[in-house]
Amino acid sequence: GLLTVRLHRMRDRLRRQKVELEAALAHIHRLATHDDLTGLVNRRHMQELLENERMRLERSEQDWCVALIDLDHFKSVNDAHGHAIGDEVLRALSRHAHTLIRRTDVLARWGGEEFVLLLPNTPIVMAANSLERLREHFHANPLRVHDIDLPLSFSAGLTEHLRGESVAQTLERADKLCEQ
């Protein structure tokens, strides 16, 4: 009777609390691994993903590439239109890029107007084609933010991870290529 009813109520309450706790943990994980502004993977989480890819590669023959992407003339967008428009450009770029990259690729906000694109299981020629598709799309389709057409171009340093090198060394090479 009464004991059974109390046990059922307690079990139901514990079930609800478990669901709420799982939702809270998922939310905390998302906050810890994603950029607030763009919703992209954040720098810390991307470094983990790159390290995982490096370790996976040590055991396989798969190639993977990484591109460091830097938006051109982003400071002038902020100066001319304000930081709110600049933020909107970063959000729009993130949304568009997600529709253009493969589901297995990962785009991260690296900082400011810098992004890192991880292309797993991708030889350099295919990675270059993906990057070129991204560049052509943004060239042909200016971002429309608050009735302002903003042409978007970027510089990118694309490199293939070399076996035996650290993630930091791969990123350094990509960064040098981006500056050229």
Active site amino acids: 113
> Closest Cα to residue 65, out of 146, 152, 126?
126
Question: How many residues are given for the chain?
Answer: 180
| Tokens, residue 150 | 């903003």
CA dist 120 and 63 (Å) reads: 7
Which of 16, 41, 47 minimizes the C-alpha distance to 29?
Answer: 41
Maximum Cα–Cα distance across the chain: 78
Residue 123: name the closest of 160, 166, 90, 164 by CA: 160
